Amino acid sequence: MADREKVIKGLELCLKGDSNLCEISCPYYYQCGAFYENNEALLKDALSMLKAQEPRVFDADEIVLSAEPSGWLWLEMENGHCGEAYKAGRTISGFINFGHGFDSLFTSLFPEDYGKTWRCRTSRPTDEQRAATPWPEPPKEET
Protein backbone atom coordinates (compact mmCIF):
# COMPACT_ATOMS: atom_id res chain seq x y z
CA MET A 1 0.00 0.00 0.00
CA ALA A 2 1.26 3.42 -0.90
CA ASP A 3 2.16 5.97 1.74
CA ARG A 4 -0.69 8.50 1.93
CA GLU A 5 1.43 11.55 2.75
CA LYS A 6 3.89 10.71 -0.04
CA VAL A 7 1.09 10.47 -2.60
CA ILE A 8 -0.56 13.70 -1.42
CA LYS A 9 2.69 15.65 -1.61
CA GLY A 10 3.48 14.22 -5.05
CA LEU A 11 0.03 15.11 -6.38
CA GLU A 12 0.16 18.62 -4.96
CA LEU A 13 3.54 19.28 -6.56
CA CYS A 14 2.50 17.70 -9.87
CA LEU A 15 -0.65 19.80 -10.04
CA LYS A 16 1.32 23.04 -9.77
CA GLY A 17 2.15 22.47 -13.43
CA ASP A 18 3.93 25.80 -13.84
CA SER A 19 6.99 24.15 -15.41
CA ASN A 20 7.97 20.83 -16.93
CA LEU A 21 10.38 20.17 -14.12
CA CYS A 22 9.27 18.62 -10.87
CA GLU A 23 10.55 20.09 -7.68
CA ILE A 24 13.43 18.22 -6.09
CA SER A 25 11.32 18.06 -2.93
CA CYS A 26 8.81 15.78 -4.69
CA PRO A 27 8.98 12.24 -3.23
CA TYR A 28 8.61 10.87 -6.78
CA TYR A 29 11.30 13.12 -8.30
CA TYR A 30 13.71 10.29 -9.18
CA GLN A 31 10.98 7.84 -10.24
CA CYS A 32 9.37 10.32 -12.62
CA GLY A 33 12.62 11.32 -14.26
CA ALA A 34 12.12 14.90 -13.06
CA PHE A 35 9.31 15.51 -15.55
CA TYR A 36 5.74 15.58 -14.32
CA GLU A 37 4.44 14.03 -17.58
CA ASN A 38 6.25 10.81 -16.60
CA ASN A 39 4.55 10.29 -13.23
CA GLU A 40 3.60 6.62 -13.57
CA ALA A 41 4.84 5.67 -10.07
CA LEU A 42 2.78 8.45 -8.49
CA LEU A 43 -0.32 7.50 -10.47
CA LYS A 44 0.02 3.80 -9.59
CA ASP A 45 0.33 4.64 -5.88
CA ALA A 46 -2.67 7.00 -6.02
CA LEU A 47 -4.74 4.35 -7.81
CA SER A 48 -3.83 1.65 -5.27
CA MET A 49 -4.88 3.95 -2.44
CA LEU A 50 -8.23 4.67 -4.07
CA LYS A 51 -8.88 0.98 -4.76
CA ALA A 52 -8.09 0.14 -1.13
CA GLN A 53 -11.00 2.37 -0.12
CA GLU A 54 -13.55 0.41 -2.17
CA PRO A 55 -16.05 -1.53 -0.07
CA ARG A 56 -14.84 -5.09 0.28
CA VAL A 57 -16.10 -8.11 2.13
CA PHE A 58 -14.10 -8.78 5.28
CA ASP A 59 -12.31 -12.11 5.49
CA ALA A 60 -13.80 -14.42 8.11
CA ASP A 61 -10.73 -14.11 10.33
CA GLU A 62 -11.08 -10.31 10.39
CA ILE A 63 -14.60 -10.56 11.82
CA VAL A 64 -15.19 -14.02 13.24
CA LEU A 65 -11.81 -14.91 14.71
CA SER A 66 -11.04 -11.46 16.04
CA ALA A 67 -12.44 -10.95 19.52
CA GLU A 68 -11.88 -7.23 19.16
CA PRO A 69 -14.68 -4.84 18.28
CA SER A 70 -14.21 -3.63 14.71
CA GLY A 71 -15.86 -0.23 14.75
CA TRP A 72 -18.47 0.73 12.18
CA LEU A 73 -18.96 -1.53 9.20
CA TRP A 74 -21.67 -2.65 6.81
CA LEU A 75 -23.57 -5.75 7.93
CA GLU A 76 -25.17 -7.64 5.04
CA MET A 77 -27.59 -10.55 5.32
CA GLU A 78 -28.21 -13.17 2.65
CA ASN A 79 -31.92 -12.31 2.62
CA GLY A 80 -31.06 -8.82 1.30
CA HIS A 81 -31.21 -6.85 4.55
CA CYS A 82 -28.19 -4.73 5.20
CA GLY A 83 -27.18 -1.69 7.15
CA GLU A 84 -24.52 0.09 9.09
CA ALA A 85 -23.58 -1.61 12.34
CA TYR A 86 -20.69 -1.95 14.72
CA LYS A 87 -19.14 -5.10 16.05
CA ALA A 88 -19.69 -5.06 19.79
CA GLY A 89 -17.73 -8.27 20.41
CA ARG A 90 -18.63 -11.81 21.40
CA THR A 91 -21.16 -12.91 23.94
CA ILE A 92 -20.29 -15.50 26.53
CA SER A 93 -22.14 -18.09 24.41
CA GLY A 94 -19.95 -17.37 21.38
CA PHE A 95 -22.37 -15.32 19.31
CA ILE A 96 -21.04 -12.16 17.68
CA ASN A 97 -23.02 -9.05 18.64
CA PHE A 98 -23.58 -6.14 16.30
CA GLY A 99 -25.09 -2.85 17.44
CA HIS A 100 -27.23 -0.71 15.17
CA GLY A 101 -26.97 3.03 15.68
CA PHE A 102 -28.08 4.77 18.82
CA ASP A 103 -31.23 2.76 19.41
CA SER A 104 -29.32 0.04 21.30
CA LEU A 105 -30.63 -2.74 19.10
CA PHE A 106 -28.29 -5.69 18.85
CA THR A 107 -28.11 -8.56 16.43
CA SER A 108 -26.39 -11.75 17.54
CA LEU A 109 -25.06 -13.98 14.79
CA PHE A 110 -23.46 -17.41 14.66
CA PRO A 111 -19.76 -17.17 13.73
CA GLU A 112 -19.96 -20.42 11.74
CA ASP A 113 -22.56 -18.85 9.43
CA TYR A 114 -20.20 -16.07 8.29
CA GLY A 115 -20.13 -15.95 4.51
CA LYS A 116 -23.17 -18.23 4.30
CA THR A 117 -26.02 -16.17 5.76
CA TRP A 118 -24.25 -12.96 6.81
CA ARG A 119 -21.10 -11.02 6.01
CA CYS A 120 -19.52 -7.66 6.69
CA ARG A 121 -18.05 -5.05 4.37
CA THR A 122 -15.67 -2.21 5.04
CA SER A 123 -18.28 0.35 3.92
CA ARG A 124 -21.61 0.64 2.13
CA PRO A 125 -21.48 -1.19 -1.22
CA THR A 126 -23.35 -0.15 -4.34
CA ASP A 127 -25.98 -2.50 -5.75
CA GLU A 128 -23.49 -3.39 -8.50
CA GLN A 129 -20.82 -4.29 -5.93
CA ARG A 130 -23.30 -6.42 -4.01
CA ALA A 131 -24.33 -8.23 -7.18
CA ALA A 132 -20.68 -8.82 -8.08
CA THR A 133 -20.13 -10.64 -4.77
CA PRO A 134 -22.68 -13.45 -4.88
CA TRP A 135 -23.53 -15.62 -1.92
CA PRO A 136 -22.40 -19.25 -2.11
CA GLU A 137 -24.92 -21.74 -3.40
CA PRO A 138 -26.58 -23.70 -0.59
CA PRO A 139 -25.65 -27.39 -0.54
CA LYS A 140 -28.08 -29.57 -2.46
CA GLU A 141 -29.98 -32.15 -0.47
CA GLU A 142 -29.42 -35.72 -1.52
CA THR A 143 -32.53 -37.63 -2.48
pLDDT score of 119: 92
pLDDT score of 37: 58
pTM: 0.61
Amino acid at 15: L
The mean pLDDT values, 10 residues at a time, for the chain of 143 residues are: 77 68 72 63 81 82 71 86 81 79 73 91 87 81 67
CA-closest candidate to residue 83, choices 54, 57, 120, 111: 120
